[in-house]
Amino acid sequence: MKRRFVTLDVFTRTKCAGNPLAVVLDAEGLDTDEMQAIAREFNLSETVFLLPPADPGHSAVLRIFTPRAELPFAGHPTVGAAVQLAADKYGAPSQAQDAILVLDEAIGPVRVGVRLAPDEPAFAEFDLPKLPEAQGAPPSTDSLCAALGLTHGEIGFENHKPSQWSAGLPFVFVPLRDLQTVRKAEVNLAAWKDSFAGHPAELFVYCRETEHRDNHFHARMFAPTAGILEDPATGSAAAAFAGVIRHFDSLPDGTHVYRVEQGFEMGRPSILNIEISLGNNEMHSARIGGHAVFVSEGHIEI
């Protein structure tokens, strides 16, 4: 059976940047093993499969796969799938068109706003289905240094220290001294396997210094034991990073907006928007947003 697919680059305004995504639109009838096989065939960081929702008020069921496993939630598949669904519904708009979608993911319903506009890349922003939570102690600084080829003096800045957080997927967050240190970080796979036993497989390094002055953090994400040596844009990490920012920067009540740059070292520059809303010294909500551009379409037979 021929099944339609599209590919998009997500968290970018231009093609051949950001994080590539495959979206299989005619996924009815596929079982889990077949979906996993298709994800291996595309061999992108994630492939998403769209299915009819049980709730008629929702837009679609999303099943998200890496080449190795299914995920309960991921950011760039949520953004990319929402943009594709809105484009299929409204086509090329003659004027700005806003849409609200609800996507059923394994983590639960995810509310997404999409904006389509003439001669502009589409933009989507989703509400976090789960607010970030701290996840216990990270690996030791010695272990992190060994895994990343760094020294103690290169880990940490201001009051930021290594930590573990999750907003659906857990990550180890490692602040690094400056942009040069982030650039030179390199995975030592043998040390990595020892260092991360009992900890999340995904590690997000970041610093305050940025490539572009409009951005607030520069980041990289490594997950070699999960089959991702490096990821160009990681929405689920940005979701958890909202908790890191709020915790270490002691944000006051109100709404705070941040831009995180990622993927520059891979030649796939990406920009992820984070919006955090606080009241009574508690995080009430957070949103992750970014642009997406269409790259290709076709059919896969299975």
Q: 197 falls in which pLDDT band (50, 70, 90)?
A: confident
Average pLDDT over residues 219-223: 97
What pLDDT score does 135 carry?
A: 95
Whether the predicted pLDDT of 240 surpasses 90: yes
Euclidean distance between CA atoms 21 and 72, whole angstroms = 16
Cβ distance 285 to 277 under 8 Å? Answer: yes
pTM of the shown model: 0.96
All structural domains of the chain, each given as residue ranges with its CATH number in brackets, are 2-128+291-301 (3.10.310.10), 133-290 (3.10.310.10)
Whether the predicted pLDDT of 98 surpasses 90: yes
Mean pLDDT of the chain: 96
Whether the predicted pLDDT of 227 surpasses 90: no
Q: 225 falls in which pLDDT band (50, 70, 90)?
A: confident
220-226 contacts, C-beta under 8 A, 24 or more apart: 220/182, 220/185, 220/262, 220/265, 221/171, 221/262, 222/185, 222/187, 224/187, 224/189, 224/192, 225/189, 225/192, 225/193, 225/196, 225/201, 226/66, 226/68, 226/69, 226/201, 226/202
- Per-residue pLDDT of 102-146, as tens digits, reads 999 999 999 999 999 998 999 999 999 999 999 999 999 999 999
Give the three-state DSSP class for 169: coil
Percentage of residues of the chain with pLDDT beyond 90: 91
Q: 302 falls in which pLDDT band (50, 70, 90)?
A: confident
Whether the predicted pLDDT of 184 surpasses 90: yes
> Which residues are identified as catalytic?
46
- Per-residue pLDDT of 154-182, as tens digits, reads 999 999 999 999 999 999 999 999 999 99
What pLDDT score does 158 carry?
A: 98
Q: 93 falls in which pLDDT band (50, 70, 90)?
A: confident
